[in-house]
Structure 1
Amino acid sequence: MALVLGVDALGLIIHEPDNLLDRKIGFPWPEIRNLSFYHDKFIIQPADKTAKEFDFFMEKSKINRPILALCIGNHELYMRRRKSHSIYRSAVDEDTGEKTT
């Protein structure tokens, strides 16, 4: 079964090739423990250690390295946004003397 792997600001998304608007499976960044590849296999290991890993087989093995680099870059941006958002919330808390959630 052919699937399309998408990378976005919030994580990884799996689509069916004929329906790119509806996600089949989503992997938010906090729910991913590790991403790796070996030859033509791209591996997603969920944060839940009891869950099975997801293996995707690419048509060409050389595509895995750029996909992993794209994932790393998007995850770094996600972490920066999360950090800046928490810094902003802390500053608001200090200014108002209240705790925001």
Structure 2
Amino acid sequence: MIQNFDYFQPTKIKFGAGRIAEIGDFVSEYGKKCVLVTVPLFDDFEPIIDKVKLSLNKSGVSFIHFDKDIQNPTTDIITQGVDIANDFGAEVVLGLGGGSS
């Protein structure tokens, strides 16, 4: 079994079972207002996002969920996401679910 590890250069990667519960603490190091960017929710992905939202709440991070991300997003979708982030006063962007996020 692979052991949990932390890696920083200059991006920090947290890897291992159960580490998703630490996302809120990690995000809160960078700000308290977060835009959560994901693909549209589907059955297998929704429980993961629920855990992320719970962790953000427990860490005192307020967030708005932008779930319009698609593979190869258009400039209109990107602009919509930027507008939502600006209107919310986001300090952090957390992308989950794939390369486009």
The question of a shared fold, defined as TM-score above 0.5 by the shorter chain, is answered with no
- What TM-score do the two structures reach when normalised by structure 2? 0.27
Higher RCO (C-alpha 8 Å, min separation 6): 2
